[in-house]
Amino acid sequence: MPEAFISLGSNLSSTSEGIDKDPQVQINDALKKIANITDINLLKISSFYQTSAVGPGEQPDYINAAIKIETRLTAYALLDTLQYIEHQQGRVRNERWGARTLDLDILIYDKLIENTARLTLPHPRAHERGFVLAPLADLNAELIIGEYGNVGDLLANCSMQGIVRLTN
């Protein structure tokens, strides 16, 4: 079965079933939903990280994590599944890099190289973002991201300013 690495991020709360769900709860809810999908085996979960927001305007800090999965889903079916979970948790796509209740990105899907309007693999900016690399290093510091090199080396050359590992 293909292996994939997915990043998870949230910096907005939402209310669901009368319960206010902060970003850490948003991530935990997404993990539960992913784990319950029959065509996905959730293999490993990184630590959670509090990270400064990257994007327009003033935004609350993010909670970020990453997971390693095996899946019978194609890359596009996995993308559709992840976007459905985002929608369930109140994700609205108004502004690029804007604040969000949930962001689920496929970082790597097996060794697939893809560059279409819907999906670019490996993720085009994963290699330069500490908030992506730190959780990935928890999963596999030797993981190769496309032509850029392994996660551990990329992280060593990336700013960790504003990134704090949480105890989850």
Span 77-131, pLDDT tens digits: 999 999 999 888 876 656 555 557 789 999 999 999 999 999 999 999 999 999 9
Selection from 109, 159, 111 nearest residue 132 by Cα: 159
Per cent of the chain over pLDDT 70 is 88
Higher pLDDT, 74 or 159: 74
Catalytic positions, please?
91, 100, 103, 105
For residue 18, pLDDT over 80 is answered with no
What b/e readout covers 87-116, taking b as 16+ CB neighbours within 10 angstroms? eebbbeeeeeeebbbbbbbbbbbeeeeeee
- Indicate yes or no: pTM above 0.85: yes
The tokens of 124 are what?
Answer: 């085009």
pLDDT given at position 99: 59
Domain chopping of the chain, boundaries? 3-165
Superfamily of domain 3-165: 7,8-Dihydro-6-hydroxymethylpterin-pyrophosphokinase HPPK (3.30.70.560)
The CA-based angle 122-125-128, given to 5 degrees, is: 120
Q: Look at residue 19 and tell me whether its pLDDT is greater than 60.
A: no
Is the pLDDT reported for residue 65 higher than 90? yes
Distance separating alpha carbons of residues 59 and 129, to the nearest angstrom:
17
